[in-house]
Structure 1
Amino acid sequence: MSAVFNFQSLLVVILLMICTCTYIRSIFPNFIGRHRIGWKGIFWKMARIGERLSPIVSASCIIMAFYIIFV
């Protein structure tokens, strides 16, 4: 089943993309930072969400991990 049709898988994919984009931006700031518009701007927006809402994103990752392991 595709991640688009399963809500839990969609949340996992979104959380992983946010964490990955934030990590890549912290190591290579110009790689994601220069593409702010267009379809590549999605990665820049995900990196900004990860930077500004890092406590909420990390709590969501922990909750999702416990949910996947124990449920």
Structure 2
Amino acid sequence: MASLCPAIFNFQSLLTVILLLMCTCAYIRSLASSLLDRNKTGLLGIFWKCARTGE
């Protein structure tokens, strides 16, 4: 977690982290769609939204 903090303050690194999150969520959804599809709302809904955007 400590190595993620400097990435938040650098705009290019922050965009890289967000893009990596979206691609990872889309990949996980392609393998096990029920894992992300059952959590469309709430805090875990962020991962579902990232997966849909990443597609």
- The TM-score by the shorter chain falls in which range? 0.7 to 0.9
- Write out the 4+ residue segments of structure 1 that deviate beyond 4 Å after TM superposition: none
Match of residue 21, structure 1, among 15, 20, 25: 25
Structure exhibiting the larger radius of gyration computed from Cα positions: 1
Q: What is the TM-score when the length of structure 2 is the normalising length?
A: 0.86
Question: 1:48 maps to what in 2?
Answer: 52
How far apart in 2 are the matches of 1:38 and 1:16? 21
Identity %: 59
Q: Following the alignment from structure 2 to structure 1, what is the Cα–Cα distance between the partners of residues 54 and 34? A: 16
User: What residue identity is the alignment partner of 2:29?
Assistant: R
Superposition CA RMSD, Å: 1.0
Q: How many residues of Structure 1 are paired with residues of Structure 2 in the alignment? A: 51
Gaps of 5+ in 1: 52-71
